[in-house]
Structures are given as structure tokens and as C-alpha cells.
Amino acid sequence: MDVIIQRYTVLAKPDKVWDALVNPKTIEKWGGGPAVMKDKVGFDFSLWGGDIYGKNIEIENEKKLVQEWYSGEWSRPSVVTITLNADGHCTEIVLEHKDVPAEEMKEISEGWKDFYFEPIKKLLEEKS
């Protein structure tokens, strides 16, 4: 099992980025839907109609989201930590994804960029 670490800067305040991570209606606008999500500890979420699913295990509103993630037939979850750091009118997003199956590292790493954070960045920066 390996770790993915990525950083993104979005020209949007943390509350807008947070909304894109936890509001099902906003998630569906950037392409992660159908989504079931709430920013509550213990909440069982799903993205992309259940292709990704898991549980919220730690929440710091507009700052930190920690989730157990499952994909496909994984026997145990990976752990995703998304941290938001305000920097003026921008937000730095730091992703740490632990316990990724080695054979899926490349695909999942590219997926974070291509299907998650770049679409969020595009959606939020179009609105600013």
C-alpha cells in the first residue's frame, strides 16, 4: 500500500471549496455525482453513483475532511485526508491518500487530478 500526496491552489475561498467537497448538489456540478454526502462524522457517503464510497471519520468545518474510501472490491479502506488552507482569496488544497493498493496507484493518482480537483478548480474559478 502506498501514499498519494497532491497540492492544488484554487482561486476561491475555503467555504466555496468546502461546499464543492461536501454538498451533493455542488459535487454533481463538477462531475462526482450522483452523490450522497454530508459533512457529518460517521456519515456513509458515495460518489459517482457508488463507485467510490466510505465513511466520514473526521470533520473540521471548512478546514479538514478525513474519510475512509473504498473502490471496487477493496477488502479494506484507504484513508483520504483533504486539508484546506486559506491564502487571501485562494485556497490551497492538500490531499493525502493513504493505503492505496499499489496496482492502482497510477490510476488513482491521475483520477484525483483529472476527475476530482481539476473539475472542482474549473467550476469554482468560472464562478469568480
Round to whole Å and give the CA distance between 30 and 28: 6
| DSSP percent split of the chain into helix, strand, coil, nearest 5 | 35, 40, 25
pLDDT tens sequence across 35-52: 999 999 999 999 999 999
Task: Give the SS3 label for residue 63.
Answer: coil
**Residue-wise DSSP of 2-39:** EEEEEEEEESS-HHHHHHHHH-HHHHHHHT--S-B--S
Indicate the pLDDT class of residue 74, thresholds 50, 70 and 90.
Answer: confident
| pLDDT higher than threshold 80 for residue 1 | no
Rounded to the nearest integer, the mean pLDDT of the chain is: 95
pLDDT tens sequence across 95-118: 999 999 989 999 999 999 999 999
- C-alpha cell recorded at residue 62: 471548512
Residue 65's CB is within 10 A of a number of other CB atoms, namely: 21
| pLDDT higher than threshold 60 for residue 128 | no
pLDDT tens sequence across 9-33: 999 999 999 999 999 999 999 999 9
List the domains of the chain with CATH numbers. Answer: 2-127 (3.30.530.20)
Residue 119's CB is within 10 A of a number of other CB atoms, namely: 17
